[in-house]
Amino acid sequence: MSGNGTNAGDDPLQTAVWRLRSRACWADAAALLPPDTPQAALQRAALLVERCLYTERGWQDAEDALRTAEALAHSDEERGAAACERGQLAYTATLHGVRDRADEARAALGRAAALVPPGSPDRALLDFRRGLIAENLTLSPQAARAAYRRAHAGAAAHADPLLLSFTWRHLAGLALRDGELAEARHGFAESLRIREELGYLVGTAPALASLADAETEPEASRLREEARRLFRLLGGVPTWLARQLAPPAPGVATA
């Protein structure tokens, strides 16, 4: 979830990995990374776990990469980061209805919380993922909001714009649920702005669709059409966006 490769000072390998990742080519990006160092193995696993979230495919590849990362981890921080990815994979499998692994997700993120130091850049990502579980599995929006706010502060402190785009979007989603339209529009617009600036193409369609949900016509329809265009361009990724972007049935009135 980090923004590796998004800055001008990054090395050519990370830039190439970022460009492939941002265009939904996770397997190609992972193939560029050497599998025999803890950091590269962890990044490779994170890419393949992210592919599962966006495509609902590649589960075994992600499991294999994650086991390698877990085996190579030596420090507490490396073990904590691997546990964070383990929790994300279990959460993703539960979210997509592949298998109920909610308890595994919570346990893995709990292990990560015990291993990742409070001031680490990895802490912000961990807080964000704990917010996802609170929002979507535990159905506790208050706990989710608190976790997202911690993640938002951490992402800002460690200059992680990609993670900020996620925290903006999810905080805005909770605001929209509460009927706070101005707050929701602002958060969704910030998320979209960051993703466009970073060139995070695979995340731009969801950001457009989310902003559309908080806008009025005709702007809402314009945003959804742009989201559909990007969704088709990327071959129907992310898969879960298809339901949100489905046009209304003929003869059905829309609000």
The closest of 169, 122, 176, 128 to 148, measured between CA atoms, is: 128
Residue 194 has φ and ψ, to the nearest 5°, of -65, -45
At position 211, the amino acid (one-letter code) is L
Is the model more confident about 157 or about 9?
157
| pLDDT tens by residue, 144-154 | 999 999 999 99
Q: Tell whether the model's pLDDT for residue 40 goes beyond 80.
A: yes
Please list, residue by residue across 91-121, b when 16 or more beta carbons sit within 10 angstroms of its beta carbon and e when fewer do.
Answer: bbbbbeeeeebbebbbebbebbbebbeeebb
The closest of 121, 29, 56 to 84, measured between CA atoms, is: 121
Q: What is the pTM of this model?
A: 0.92
Angle between helices 121-136 and 141-157 (to 10 degrees): 160
Least confident of 6-10, 18-22, 124-128, 177-181: 6-10
Enclosing H/E stretch for 131? helix 121-136
What fold is seen in the domain 126-237? 1.25.40
Cα end-to-end span (Å), the chain: 35
State the burial class of residue 75 (Cβ atoms within 10 Å of its Cβ: 0-12, 13-18, 19+): exposed
Q: Identify the pLDDT of residue 119.
A: 85
Q: Identify the pLDDT of residue 118.
A: 86
Cβ neighbour number for residue 2 with a 10 Å cutoff: 18
| pLDDT tens by residue, 105-132 | 999 999 999 999 988 999 999 999 999 9
Which long-range contacts (C-beta less than 8 Å, at least 24 apart) are formed by 68-76? 68/35, 68/41, 68/44, 69/38, 69/41, 69/42, 69/44, 69/45, 72/36, 72/37, 72/38, 72/41, 72/42, 73/38, 73/42, 74/38, 75/38, 76/115, 76/116, 76/117
Region of 38 (left: φ > 0; alpha: ψ -120 to 50; beta: rest) is alpha
Is the model more confident about 172 or about 36?
172
Residues 35-52, mean pLDDT to the nearest whole number: 95
* Residue 244 pLDDT level (bands cut at 50, 70, 90): confident
CA distance linking residue 50 with residue 29, whole number of Å? 12
Mean of all residue pLDDT scores within the chain: 93
* Residue 10 pLDDT level (bands cut at 50, 70, 90): low
CA distance linking residue 255 with residue 253, whole number of Å? 7
* Residue 6 pLDDT level (bands cut at 50, 70, 90): low
